[in-house]
A and B are shown apart, each in its own frame.
Chain A
Amino acid sequence: MTDFVAAVLLFVGSIFMLLAALGVLRMPDVLTRMQAASKAATLGVVCMFLALAVHFQELGVASRALLVIGFVFLTAPVAAHMLGRSALSLGVTLWPGTAREDLRGNQDTGASSAAPAGASGEIQDGPPGPRQSD
Chain B
Amino acid sequence: MTPEASPLISWVSGLSLVLLGTGLLLTLIRLLRGPSLPDRVVALDLMSVLVVGLIAVHTLRSGHTVYLDAAIVLGLISFLGTVAFARYIAMRGGK
Contacts and interface: CB of A to CB of B under 8 A. Distances in A.
Are these two chains actual partners, yes or no?
yes
Interface of A: 3-4, 6-7, 10-11, 13-15, 17-18, 20-22, 24-25, 30, 33-34, 37, 41, 44-45, 48-49, 51-52, 55-56, 58, 60-61, 64-65, 67-68, 71-72, 75-76, 78-79, 82-83, 85-87, 89-92, 109-110, 119-121, 123-124, 128
B35 to A, nearest CB: 4
A10 B13 CA distance: 7
A55 B9 CA distance: 9
A105 to B, nearest CB: 12
Given A4-B8, A15-B19, A87 B3 contact: no
Interface size class on chain B is 35 or more
Nearest to A83: B86
Contacts of B93: 86, 89-91, 110, 123-124
Interface of B: 3, 6, 8-9, 12-13, 15-16, 19-20, 22-24, 26-27, 29-30, 35-39, 41-43, 45-46, 49-50, 52-53, 56-57, 59-60, 65, 68-69, 71-72, 75-76, 79, 82-83, 85-87, 89-95
A34 B34 CA distance: 13
> Main SS of the interface on chain A?
helix
B68 A61 contact: yes
A87 B85 CA distance: 11
Task: Return the 10 tightest CB-CB contacts between A and B, nearest first.
Answer: A21-B23, A14-B16, A90-B93, A110-B95, A87-B38, A86-B90, A82-B86, A86-B89, A7-B12, A75-B79
Contacts of A76: 49
A44 B95 CA distance: 37
A102 to B, nearest CB: 17
